Amino acid sequence: MKFVEHNGQKIAILSLDTLVIGSGCAGFNAADTLYDLGRRQIAILTEGVRMGTSRNTGSDKQTYYKLSLCSDAQDSIYLLAKNLFDGGSVNGDTALAEAAGSLRSFMKLVNLGVPFPTNRYGEYVGYKTDHDPYRRATSCGPLTSKMMTEKLEASVNRKQIPIYDRMQAVRLITEDNHIKGVLAIDLNRLSESDWGMTVFLCNQVILATGGPAIVYQASVYPESQTGMTGMALEAGAAGCNLQEWQYGLASVGFRWNVSGSYQQVLPRYIAVDRDGHEREFLPEYFETPQQALDMVFLKGYQWPFDTSKIAGSSIIDLIVHHEVVDKGNRVYLDFRTDPIGLENGFDRLGEEARYYLQRSGALLKTPIARLAQMNQKAIDLYASHGIDLYHQPLEIAVCAQHNNGGLAIDLDWQTTVKGLYAAGEVAGTFGIARPGGSALNSTQVGSQRAAEHIADTTPDSRPAEEWSGAVRTGTIELLEQMRQLLDGGEQPVVSQRTAFQREMTCQAAEIRSRDGIEQTGRKVMDTLVGFYRETKAASPLELPFAFKNRDMLVVQQAMLSAMLCTGPACGSRGSALMLSENGSDISFVGLTGREELSAYRYCPGNGTHRGDWVRTIWTEGQCTSGFVPVRPLPKTDDWFETVWNEYLQYTAHRQ
């Protein structure tokens, strides 16, 4: 490391072959794999090793989705790839790669000590998750991704791979569409006199910063997770399917998905109004209480809000949204007493719900007793955060949970910027829908493929430690923008973030309208145009917060552009209900709360453009989005000797 000075600011300069940004499952695996492939001039940059989604999120039993590895399960790489591809708007080559890399990535985690359960014969028994026809899911409990992260981090530490902790990447520097470096703020140095400017000169960057969690107010992402997708969009990387999100019910005090057994034990859904009056509200919307309970049970399997299941379990999400947003109530899951409909036992439940509870030994009085029988860890998880489900209800809302889109990548997880790779949720490998738990598989396969492509196609070298060219120009520009943020502006960074997060949650989350999206887009655009003049950082300590805001606004603009591409053309699809005054009523057999939900007239999905993905380009403050045909799902029939020779030639220099 060396230092230079510009206008009184000290600038640290480091030179690396490859920099990995992010310290979750994808980031640690990328660095670990690079090391195993012989690369030594590598490092990890992270805002905080203990931050991020991988380490701080989960569900009742957080799912890892993989190829079936049990008994006589009829499965294959191609079947798994086809299920990923059939989610819609998914590129076939990356789907096949994720399927092909599934077993290898899973067994690496097993060998590192992640405790995925087996039966006495060593089979990894599976269960069904949402959008899964083959019982491919497995789990270590509520904290699966945390365990994965910890084991991968331990491997990285054993190899003594450098980790630059408390470093916030704020800008990617490119030249001729090739990555040249990363500008970061060293939060360890940041003070009134030292703005912590740090320059990483590098030949490759693997972006593993997670999804753009910052964009919504109602969010189940941990507060430490924000993402930096906007940084890549500004650098010229194309976005892919940024309009496709997954929303679902989550607790809002301690942010956690209330999927799976939290629903299958049939808790009471209660609403509390502004005067403190409490009522159990679901029976008001259905002909019989048992119909409501059957929908709640299915919500466990079908946790994400899905517009194709409005006449099914996803009506629960819509009712909760109505109670919270339209009525201004607070909604809770109550595990202490049985809901209406179970006064005389379980006989009137639907066959699937009754069979599941019976098979689980959970035909017990009270939801909490059933939860303790089926998944004690789900109770312990909340207890560890000061929430006693035995004695208090759990506040919930419909929240953003996962971005199925991200940055556009090729078969090697390289973005449209040469040398810039994206792995994990920041990579846009999914489309309209995906099997639950497939995101964790994607973190491992994508980071592995990015590392292998770097090792197989580039020399292990560091750029000269020279502060010149595009990197010098970009650094000086960033320092001037920092000065502008400190010198003027009337928009405080905290209120700016809150206002735009709230706007996105109200206008462009699971309930959307064309007018709302366009109105929000104009507000975002106006703020971006005058961002450095109008935004106020009260001190240098707020500069990192300000740059996060800009990243948020860039991503929001790109998302809104993509939404305007799909919404009018496709109607409601995936996890987004597209409203229209001339649309269809929310109505189906058994639903009696139609008048309550009359405001939700919507455009039904028309099934179009499932064979296209949405590409979004951010150029000089303007976003353009359009449909691009997906790359087809390959059907391979390779000859071993041919593949063997190609493989030997491709990997010869690894030795």
Q: What is the pLDDT of residues 127-174, one digit of tens each?
A: 888 788 888 999 998 899 999 999 999 999 999 999 999 999 999 999
pLDDT of residue 412: 98
Provide the pLDDT for residue 649. 84
Q: Determine the average pLDDT of the residues in 243-256.
A: 96
Counting residues of the chain whose pLDDT is more than 90, the rounded percentage is 89
- Contact yes or no for 271/264 (Cβ under 8 A): no
Please return the burial class of 10, using the count of CB atoms within 10 Å of its CB with bins 0-12, 13-18 and 19+. middle
Q: What is the pLDDT of residue 348?
A: 93
pLDDT band per the 50, 70, 90 thresholds, residue 80: very high
Q: How many helices (H) and strands (E) does the chain have?
A: 19, 25
C-alpha span between 642 and 501 (Å, rounded): 53
User: Residue 522: what residue type?
Assistant: R
Domains in the chain with CATH codes: 247-400 (3.90.700), 478-629 (1.20.58.100)
| Predicted pLDDT at 596 | 85
Which residues is 173 bridged to in the sheet? 181
Q: What is the pLDDT of residues 201-213, one digit of tens each?
A: 999 999 999 999 9
Residue type at position 505? T
Q: pLDDT grade, residue 181 (50/70/90)?
A: very high
For the chain, percent of residues with pLDDT exceeding 70? 100
Instruction: Check: CB of residue 221 under 8 Å from CB of residue 213.
Output: yes
Number of Cβ within a 10 Å radius of residue 247 = 28
Instruction: Calculate the average pLDDT of the chain.
Output: 95
For residue 652, pLDDT beyond 80: no
pLDDT for res 655: 60
Which residues make Cβ contacts (< 8 Å) with residue 36, sequence separation at least 6? Answer: none
| pTM as predicted | 0.96
Cβ atoms 407, 394 nearer than 8 A? no
Q: Which two tokens stand for residue 48?
A: 């905080």
pLDDT tens for each residue of 208-243: 999 999 999 999 999 999 999 999 999 999 999 999
Task: Provide the pLDDT for residue 192.
Answer: 96
Asked whether 65 and 132 are in contact (CB, 8 A), the reply is yes
Q: Beta strand 330-334 with 394-403: parallel, antiparallel or unpaired?
A: antiparallel
- Of 30-34, 508-512, 582-586, the poorest mean pLDDT is in 582-586
Dihedrals phi, psi of 522, to nearest 5 degrees? -65, -40
Mean pLDDT of 319-323: 96
* Contact in structure between 128 and 70 (CB atoms under 8 Å): no
Averaged pLDDT for residues 44-64: 91
Pick the range with the lowest mean pLDDT from 503-512, 556-565, 580-589, 646-655: 646-655
Region 610-615 average pLDDT: 98
**Measured between alpha carbons, how far is 258 from 296 in angstroms, rounded to an integer?**
11
Q: Which pLDDT band, with edges at 50, 70 and 90, does 610 fall under?
A: very high
Residue 58, pLDDT score: 83
Q: How far is CA 492 from CA 300, 479, 546, in A?
A: 41, 19, 9
Q: Can you tell me the mean pLDDT for 36-40?
A: 97
pLDDT digits (tens, 9 = 90+) for 455-466: 999 999 999 989
288-302 mean pLDDT: 94
pLDDT of residue 1 exceeding 90:
no
- In Å, what is the CA distance from 652 to each residue of 100, 149, 457, 645? 22, 31, 11, 10
Residue 2, amino acid: K
